Amino acid sequence: MTDRDITLRPMGARRFGRVNWLGLYTLCAREIMRFMAVWQQTVFAPLMTAGLFVVVFALALGGDRQVMGLPYLAFLGPGILMMTVVQNAFANTSSSIVSSKMQGNIVDTLMPPLSAAEILAGYLIGAVARAGLVGLVIGTGMALLLGQGPAHPVWAVGFILLGALFMGGLGLIGGVLAQKWDQMAAITNFVVTPLSFLSGTFYSIDALPPFFRAISHMNPIFYLIDGARYGFTGVSDADPRLGLAVCSMAALAVCVTGWAVLRSGYRMKP
Protein backbone atom coordinates (compact mmCIF):
# COMPACT_ATOMS: atom_id res chain seq x y z
CA MET A 1 0.00 0.00 0.00
CA THR A 2 1.44 3.36 -1.03
CA ASP A 3 1.14 6.75 0.61
CA ARG A 4 -1.14 7.76 -2.22
CA ASP A 5 -3.52 4.90 -1.42
CA ILE A 6 -3.68 6.00 2.21
CA THR A 7 -4.29 9.60 1.22
CA LEU A 8 -7.19 8.75 -1.09
CA ARG A 9 -8.90 6.42 1.35
CA PRO A 10 -11.94 8.22 2.87
CA MET A 11 -12.11 8.95 6.59
CA GLY A 12 -15.10 6.66 7.01
CA ALA A 13 -13.04 3.68 5.81
CA ARG A 14 -10.26 4.31 8.33
CA ARG A 15 -12.79 4.51 11.16
CA PHE A 16 -15.07 1.63 10.11
CA GLY A 17 -16.49 -0.16 13.14
CA ARG A 18 -15.28 2.51 15.57
CA VAL A 19 -17.18 5.30 17.27
CA ASN A 20 -15.68 8.54 18.51
CA TRP A 21 -17.51 8.36 21.85
CA LEU A 22 -15.80 11.44 23.30
CA GLY A 23 -16.68 13.55 20.27
CA LEU A 24 -20.25 12.22 20.23
CA TYR A 25 -20.67 12.91 23.96
CA THR A 26 -19.29 16.43 23.52
CA LEU A 27 -21.67 17.20 20.66
CA CYS A 28 -24.64 15.82 22.63
CA ALA A 29 -23.63 17.83 25.71
CA ARG A 30 -23.29 20.99 23.61
CA GLU A 31 -26.75 20.53 22.09
CA ILE A 32 -28.38 19.90 25.47
CA MET A 33 -26.57 22.78 27.18
CA ARG A 34 -27.52 25.06 24.28
CA PHE A 35 -31.25 24.73 24.86
CA MET A 36 -31.01 24.46 28.64
CA ALA A 37 -29.15 27.79 28.76
CA VAL A 38 -32.38 29.45 27.62
CA TRP A 39 -34.86 27.11 29.32
CA GLN A 40 -37.35 29.95 29.68
CA GLN A 41 -37.75 29.92 25.87
CA THR A 42 -37.24 26.22 25.16
CA VAL A 43 -39.12 24.58 28.05
CA PHE A 44 -41.29 27.13 29.86
CA ALA A 45 -42.60 28.90 26.73
CA PRO A 46 -43.93 25.66 25.13
CA LEU A 47 -45.68 24.85 28.40
CA MET A 48 -47.39 28.24 28.36
CA THR A 49 -48.35 27.83 24.69
CA ALA A 50 -49.83 24.39 25.34
CA GLY A 51 -51.73 25.76 28.34
CA LEU A 52 -53.16 28.61 26.24
CA PHE A 53 -54.32 26.15 23.56
CA VAL A 54 -56.10 24.08 26.19
CA VAL A 55 -57.74 27.12 27.81
CA VAL A 56 -58.88 28.67 24.52
CA PHE A 57 -60.31 25.48 23.08
CA ALA A 58 -61.83 24.51 26.41
CA LEU A 59 -63.68 27.82 26.53
CA ALA A 60 -64.69 27.68 22.87
CA LEU A 61 -65.56 24.00 22.47
CA GLY A 62 -65.35 22.49 25.92
CA GLY A 63 -68.14 22.00 28.40
CA ASP A 64 -70.04 18.77 27.84
CA ARG A 65 -68.71 18.25 24.32
CA GLN A 66 -67.33 14.77 23.62
CA VAL A 67 -65.12 13.49 20.79
CA MET A 68 -64.61 9.77 20.14
CA GLY A 69 -66.39 9.05 23.40
CA LEU A 70 -63.96 11.20 25.40
CA PRO A 71 -64.46 14.56 27.14
CA TYR A 72 -63.03 17.17 24.79
CA LEU A 73 -60.17 18.13 27.12
CA ALA A 74 -59.15 14.49 27.50
CA PHE A 75 -59.20 14.20 23.70
CA LEU A 76 -57.30 17.46 23.20
CA GLY A 77 -54.52 17.00 25.78
CA PRO A 78 -52.44 14.25 24.09
CA GLY A 79 -52.68 16.01 20.72
CA ILE A 80 -51.39 19.27 22.19
CA LEU A 81 -48.58 17.37 23.92
CA MET A 82 -47.43 15.63 20.73
CA MET A 83 -47.77 18.75 18.60
CA THR A 84 -45.56 20.65 21.06
CA VAL A 85 -43.05 17.78 21.18
CA VAL A 86 -42.58 17.59 17.40
CA GLN A 87 -42.38 21.36 16.97
CA ASN A 88 -39.65 21.59 19.62
CA ALA A 89 -37.70 18.69 18.15
CA PHE A 90 -37.77 20.39 14.76
CA ALA A 91 -36.80 23.76 16.23
CA ASN A 92 -33.85 22.32 18.16
CA THR A 93 -31.94 20.84 15.23
CA SER A 94 -32.90 23.47 12.66
CA SER A 95 -32.03 26.46 14.87
CA SER A 96 -28.74 24.88 15.97
CA ILE A 97 -27.51 24.32 12.42
CA VAL A 98 -28.78 27.58 10.94
CA SER A 99 -27.36 29.67 13.79
CA SER A 100 -24.00 27.92 13.45
CA LYS A 101 -23.95 28.60 9.71
CA MET A 102 -24.98 32.24 10.15
CA GLN A 103 -22.42 32.85 12.91
CA GLY A 104 -19.68 31.06 10.99
CA ASN A 105 -18.89 28.53 13.74
CA ILE A 106 -20.25 25.47 11.90
CA VAL A 107 -16.58 24.63 11.41
CA ASP A 108 -16.47 23.68 15.10
CA THR A 109 -18.78 20.79 14.25
CA LEU A 110 -17.12 19.83 10.96
CA MET A 111 -13.45 19.90 12.02
CA PRO A 112 -13.47 17.26 14.80
CA PRO A 113 -13.07 13.63 13.65
CA LEU A 114 -16.80 12.90 13.65
CA SER A 115 -18.48 10.82 10.97
CA ALA A 116 -21.79 11.84 9.41
CA ALA A 117 -23.57 9.21 11.52
CA GLU A 118 -22.03 10.59 14.72
CA ILE A 119 -22.98 14.17 13.85
CA LEU A 120 -26.51 13.01 13.04
CA ALA A 121 -26.73 11.11 16.34
CA GLY A 122 -25.47 14.11 18.31
CA TYR A 123 -28.05 16.47 16.86
CA LEU A 124 -30.87 13.93 17.20
CA ILE A 125 -30.04 13.16 20.82
CA GLY A 126 -30.24 16.88 21.56
CA ALA A 127 -33.62 17.06 19.82
CA VAL A 128 -34.92 14.00 21.70
CA ALA A 129 -33.72 15.44 25.01
CA ARG A 130 -35.51 18.75 24.45
CA ALA A 131 -38.67 17.11 23.11
CA GLY A 132 -38.69 14.56 25.92
CA LEU A 133 -38.28 17.25 28.58
CA VAL A 134 -41.10 19.32 27.07
CA GLY A 135 -43.29 16.21 26.84
CA LEU A 136 -42.55 15.33 30.46
CA VAL A 137 -43.44 18.83 31.66
CA ILE A 138 -46.69 18.96 29.68
CA GLY A 139 -47.58 15.37 30.61
CA THR A 140 -47.08 16.19 34.29
CA GLY A 141 -49.31 19.24 33.90
CA MET A 142 -52.00 17.10 32.26
CA ALA A 143 -51.83 14.60 35.11
CA LEU A 144 -52.09 17.31 37.77
CA LEU A 145 -54.70 19.59 36.19
CA LEU A 146 -56.77 17.16 34.14
CA GLY A 147 -56.17 13.99 36.13
CA GLN A 148 -55.11 12.31 32.88
CA GLY A 149 -52.24 9.84 33.07
CA PRO A 150 -51.14 7.51 30.25
CA ALA A 151 -53.35 4.47 29.70
CA HIS A 152 -50.54 2.73 27.77
CA PRO A 153 -47.25 4.31 28.91
CA VAL A 154 -45.02 2.25 26.60
CA TRP A 155 -47.03 3.26 23.54
CA ALA A 156 -47.03 6.89 24.63
CA VAL A 157 -43.26 6.98 25.14
CA GLY A 158 -42.67 5.11 21.87
CA PHE A 159 -44.66 7.57 19.79
CA ILE A 160 -43.06 10.56 21.54
CA LEU A 161 -39.61 9.13 20.76
CA LEU A 162 -40.51 8.47 17.13
CA GLY A 163 -41.98 11.96 16.82
CA ALA A 164 -38.80 13.53 18.19
CA LEU A 165 -36.60 11.48 15.84
CA PHE A 166 -38.78 12.20 12.79
CA MET A 167 -39.08 15.94 13.32
CA GLY A 168 -35.53 16.27 14.65
CA GLY A 169 -34.26 14.69 11.43
CA LEU A 170 -36.55 16.89 9.36
CA GLY A 171 -35.27 19.94 11.22
CA LEU A 172 -31.69 18.89 10.51
CA ILE A 173 -32.41 18.59 6.79
CA GLY A 174 -34.19 21.95 6.81
CA GLY A 175 -31.30 23.56 8.67
CA VAL A 176 -28.82 22.26 6.11
CA LEU A 177 -30.91 23.43 3.15
CA ALA A 178 -31.63 26.88 4.60
CA GLN A 179 -29.03 29.55 3.96
CA LYS A 180 -30.62 32.17 6.22
CA TRP A 181 -33.32 32.58 8.85
CA ASP A 182 -35.94 33.71 6.32
CA GLN A 183 -35.66 30.41 4.46
CA MET A 184 -35.92 28.47 7.72
CA ALA A 185 -39.01 30.46 8.68
CA ALA A 186 -40.56 29.61 5.30
CA ILE A 187 -40.00 25.90 5.87
CA THR A 188 -41.55 26.19 9.34
CA ASN A 189 -44.56 28.22 8.20
CA PHE A 190 -45.37 26.35 4.99
CA VAL A 191 -44.42 22.77 5.94
CA VAL A 192 -44.21 22.13 9.67
CA THR A 193 -47.11 24.28 10.91
CA PRO A 194 -49.69 23.01 8.36
CA LEU A 195 -48.69 19.38 8.96
CA SER A 196 -49.02 19.92 12.72
CA PHE A 197 -52.36 21.72 12.70
CA LEU A 198 -53.98 19.52 10.01
CA SER A 199 -53.20 16.27 11.81
CA GLY A 200 -56.23 15.68 13.99
CA THR A 201 -54.86 17.55 16.98
CA PHE A 202 -58.07 19.50 17.58
CA TYR A 203 -60.61 17.19 15.91
CA SER A 204 -61.25 13.60 14.92
CA ILE A 205 -60.60 12.95 11.24
CA ASP A 206 -63.76 10.86 11.16
CA ALA A 207 -65.60 14.18 11.02
CA LEU A 208 -63.87 15.11 7.74
CA PRO A 209 -65.21 14.45 4.23
CA PRO A 210 -63.71 11.30 2.61
CA PHE A 211 -61.27 13.26 0.41
CA PHE A 212 -59.73 15.22 3.28
CA ARG A 213 -59.77 12.13 5.48
CA ALA A 214 -57.67 10.31 2.87
CA ILE A 215 -55.23 13.24 2.74
CA SER A 216 -54.94 13.19 6.54
CA HIS A 217 -53.94 9.53 6.39
CA MET A 218 -50.93 10.54 4.27
CA ASN A 219 -49.67 12.90 6.98
CA PRO A 220 -47.12 11.16 9.27
CA ILE A 221 -47.86 13.64 12.07
CA PHE A 222 -51.46 12.40 12.11
CA TYR A 223 -50.19 8.97 13.17
CA LEU A 224 -47.96 10.56 15.82
CA ILE A 225 -50.90 12.53 17.26
CA ASP A 226 -53.18 9.53 17.03
CA GLY A 227 -50.58 7.26 18.61
CA ALA A 228 -50.04 9.65 21.52
CA ARG A 229 -53.80 9.85 22.00
CA TYR A 230 -53.95 6.05 22.13
CA GLY A 231 -51.08 5.98 24.61
CA PHE A 232 -52.81 8.41 26.95
CA THR A 233 -56.48 7.50 26.51
CA GLY A 234 -56.61 4.07 24.88
CA VAL A 235 -58.70 5.54 22.01
CA SER A 236 -57.48 6.21 18.47
CA ASP A 237 -58.73 6.96 14.95
CA ALA A 238 -56.38 4.43 13.31
CA ASP A 239 -54.88 1.12 14.33
CA PRO A 240 -51.93 2.05 16.60
CA ARG A 241 -49.88 -0.78 15.08
CA LEU A 242 -50.29 0.79 11.65
CA GLY A 243 -49.34 4.15 13.13
CA LEU A 244 -46.25 2.64 14.72
CA ALA A 245 -45.18 1.15 11.39
CA VAL A 246 -45.77 4.39 9.46
CA CYS A 247 -43.96 6.53 12.05
CA SER A 248 -41.03 4.11 12.21
CA MET A 249 -40.60 4.12 8.43
CA ALA A 250 -40.95 7.90 8.26
CA ALA A 251 -38.36 8.42 11.02
CA LEU A 252 -35.98 5.95 9.36
CA ALA A 253 -36.36 7.61 5.95
CA VAL A 254 -35.72 11.08 7.37
CA CYS A 255 -32.71 9.95 9.40
CA VAL A 256 -31.15 8.17 6.39
CA THR A 257 -31.71 11.28 4.28
CA GLY A 258 -30.15 13.43 6.99
CA TRP A 259 -27.13 11.12 7.14
CA ALA A 260 -26.71 11.28 3.36
CA VAL A 261 -26.92 15.09 3.37
CA LEU A 262 -24.35 15.38 6.17
CA ARG A 263 -22.04 12.88 4.48
CA SER A 264 -22.14 14.85 1.22
CA GLY A 265 -21.29 18.10 3.01
CA TYR A 266 -23.96 19.92 1.00
CA ARG A 267 -24.30 23.53 2.19
CA MET A 268 -22.37 22.66 5.33
CA LYS A 269 -18.81 23.28 4.31
CA PRO A 270 -17.76 26.94 4.52
- The predicted pLDDT at position 61 comes to 67
Instruction: Confirm whether 167 is domain-assigned.
Output: yes
Instruction: Confirm whether 129 is domain-assigned.
Output: yes
Instruction: Confirm whether 62 is domain-assigned.
Output: yes
Instruction: Confirm whether 177 is domain-assigned.
Output: yes
Instruction: Confirm whether 10 is domain-assigned.
Output: no
Instruction: Confirm whether 79 is domain-assigned.
Output: yes
Q: How many domains would you assign to the chain?
A: 1
Instruction: Confirm whether 147 is domain-assigned.
Output: yes
Instruction: Confirm whether 4 is domain-assigned.
Output: no
| Residue-by-residue pLDDT tens, the chain, 270 positions | 444 443 333 333 344 458 899 999 999 999 999 999 988 888 888 888 888 888 887 777 655 778 888 888 888 889 999 999 999 999 999 999 999 988 888 888 888 899 999 999 999 999 999 999 999 998 888 888 777 778 899 999 999 999 999 999 999 999 999 988 889 989 888 888 888 888 888 888 888 888 888 888 899 999 999 999 999 999 998 899 999 999 999 999 999 999 999 999 888 865
- The predicted pLDDT at position 65 comes to 77
- The predicted pLDDT at position 74 comes to 85
Range(s) of the domain holding residue 251: 19-264
- The pTM of this model reads 0.87
Which DSSP string do the residues of the chain spell out, in sequence order? --HHHHHHS-HHHHTTT---HHHHHHHHHHHHHHHHTTHIIIIIHHHHHHHHHHHHHHHHH-TT-EETTEEHHHHHHHHHHHHHHHHHHHHHHHHHHHHHHHHT-THHHHSSS--HHHHHHHHHHHHHHHHHHHHHHHHHHHHHHT----SSHHHHHHHHHHHHHHHHHHHHHHHHH-SSHHHHHHHIIIIIHHHHHTSSSSS-GGGS-HHHHHHHTT-HHHHHHHHHHHHHHS--SS-HHHHHHHHHHHHHHHHHHHHHHHHHTTTT--
- The predicted pLDDT at position 17 comes to 53
- The predicted pLDDT at position 1 comes to 40
Cα distance between residue 31 and residue 126, in whole Å = 5
- The predicted pLDDT at position 10 comes to 38
